[in-house]
């Protein structure tokens, strides 16, 4: 029997640092992030810290510096997941970070300029490139769905009526699903591109301000690839892999943005989904947890079949402060010696002052 990889190995966390934008440059912002691509680490210095505050280093599966290209990110981080989906596994790719850190740029990018295409359009070309090269009598069926979760309500971005909220259901044979969600059969990468444009337009129609709205809702574009071929036993063998490509809401702390009323309700719901997602990932990486809290939010319920088990997950973290939270569990051992060191250093200094 094949030995199954521990679940932690199925979850990869990569970090991408975007270059400073013009506003940040003209305000003379200091760069406090140092990326070491060889070691896969990011070092942060505290801009307000004292000289005794040593920089903090965090290590990840892969890190991408400010000069990384869309293709670098695709080839190193996303490609293996899509390859697995084509083999019949489920996979999820999402970007996590505050608004403005480059989540949409990494996931979607600029679909009209070849070198600026993000993970989603590159995956379309990859899937249909694979199908075109398939040998023998292998047949494929590719379907896509596109939904949005806003205030813990699910809307079908490919449906006729954007005001309808859909129900999340569960059945023993198919697992968790969204009732009446539109599934579109696609024949090529252009079809996928077209329905993504249509869905994104519907996302705008339902919102008064697209930027504000997209930073407060989660969108899941899902592609199911089924393949069918005749085996040596002359029977038909079917494989199905599902890929979830997720554009998450911004992870900014709402206490910072001073939300109230409707904004506060939104913020609470966004935080519920993001913190549940964080808890689910932590529990999966931990490997010892017997309970994975998928059911605590719509987002994690819908991603359930593609996060645990044999599924592969890629998390692109776009903002470094948040890493601390997610990695705190793992880094605890590393953090404590550093604090001990700092404590000793300060004690010594204090003694010196007293002796003077």
Ligand X SMILES: Nc1ncnc2c1ncn2[C@@H]1O[C@H](COP(=O)(O)OP(=O)(O)O)[C@@H](O)[C@H]1O
> Which residues bind to Mg ion, rule: CB under 5 A?
103-104
Which range touches ligand X (CB under 6 A), out of 97-105, 141-149, 280-288, 289-297?
Answer: 97-105
Say whether residue 102 binds ligand X (CB under 6 A). yes
Say whether residue 18 binds ligand X (CB under 6 A). yes
Residues 306, 247: Cα–Cα separation, whole Å: 15
- Which partner in Mg ion, ligand X, none is near 18 (CB below 5 to 8 A by kind)? ligand X
Which range touches ligand X (CB under 6 A), out of 17-25, 40-48, 176-184, 256-264?
Answer: 17-25
293 touches 280 (CB < 8 A):
yes
Q: Which of residues 298-317 bind ligand X (CB under 6 A)?
A: none
- The CB-of-112 to Mg ion minimum distance in angstroms stands at 17
| Closer residue to ligand X (CB): 66 or 336 | 66
Q: Which residues contact 246 (CB under 8 A, 6 or more apart)?
A: 92, 93, 94, 95, 107, 218, 219, 220, 221, 299, 303
Which range touches ligand X (CB under 6 A), out of 16-24, 172-180, 299-307, 323-331?
Answer: 16-24
Of the candidate residues 58, 89, 91, 97, the single one contacting ligand X (CB under 6 A):
97
Residues 243, 224: Cα–Cα separation, whole Å: 6
Q: Is 278 annotated as a binding residue?
A: no
81 touches 126 (CB < 8 A):
no
Residue 148 exposure: Cα atoms within 13 Å on the Cβ side: 26
Calculate the alpha carbon distances from 156 to 13, 184, 203, 323 in Å: 29, 12, 9, 32
- The CB-of-37 to ligand X minimum distance in angstroms stands at 14
Say whether residue 101 binds ligand X (CB under 6 A). yes
Interface residues with ligand X (CB under 6 A) are: 18-19, 21, 97, 99-105, 215, 250, 318
Annotated binding residues for ATP, written as ranges, equal 97-104
């Amino acid at each position: 029997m094949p030995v199954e990889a521990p679940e932690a190995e199925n979850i990869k966390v990569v970090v991408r640092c975007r270059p400073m934008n013009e506003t940040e440059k003209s305000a003379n912002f200091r760069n406090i992030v140092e990326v070491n691509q060889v070691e896969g680490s990011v070092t942060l210095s505290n801009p307000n810290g004292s000289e005794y505050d040593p920089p903090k280093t965090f290590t990840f599966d892969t890190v991408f510096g400010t000069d990384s290209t869309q293709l670098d990110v695709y080839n190193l981080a996303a490609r293996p997941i899509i390859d697995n989906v084509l083999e019949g596994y489920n996979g999820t790719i999402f970007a996590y970070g505050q608004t403005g850190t480059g989540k949409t740029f990494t996931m979607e990018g600029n679909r009209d300029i070849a070198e600026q295409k993000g993970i989603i359009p590159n995956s379309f070309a990859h899937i249909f490139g694979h199908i075109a090269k398939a040998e023998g009598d292998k047949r494929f069926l590719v379907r896509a769905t596109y939904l949005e979760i806003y205030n813990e309500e699910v809307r079908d971005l490919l449906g006729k009526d954007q005001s309808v909220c859909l129900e999340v259901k569960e059945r023993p044979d198919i697992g968790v699903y969204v009732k009446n969600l539109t599934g579109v059969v696609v024949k090529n990468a252009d079809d996928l591109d077209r329905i993504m444009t249509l869905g994104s337009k519907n996302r705008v129609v339902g919102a008064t301000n697209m930027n504000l709205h997209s930073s407060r809702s989660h969108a899941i574009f899902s592609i199911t690839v089924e393949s069918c071929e005749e085996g040596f036993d002359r029977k038909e063998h079917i494989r199905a892999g599902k890929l979830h490509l997720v554009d998450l809401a911004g992870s900014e702390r709402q206490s910072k943005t001073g939300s109230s009323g409707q904004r506060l309700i939104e913020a609470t719901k966004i935080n519920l989904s993001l913190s549940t997602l964080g808890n689910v990932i932590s529990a999966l990486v931990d490997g010892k947890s017997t309970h994975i809290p998928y059911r605590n939010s719509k987002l994690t319920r819908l991603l359930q079949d593609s996060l645990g088990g044999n599924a592969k997950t890629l998390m692109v973290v776009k903002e470094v402060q948040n890493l601390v939270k997610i990695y705190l569990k793992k880094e605890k051992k590393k953090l404590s010696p550093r604090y001990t060191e700092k404590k000793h250093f300060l004690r010594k200094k204090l003694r010196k002052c007293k002796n003077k």
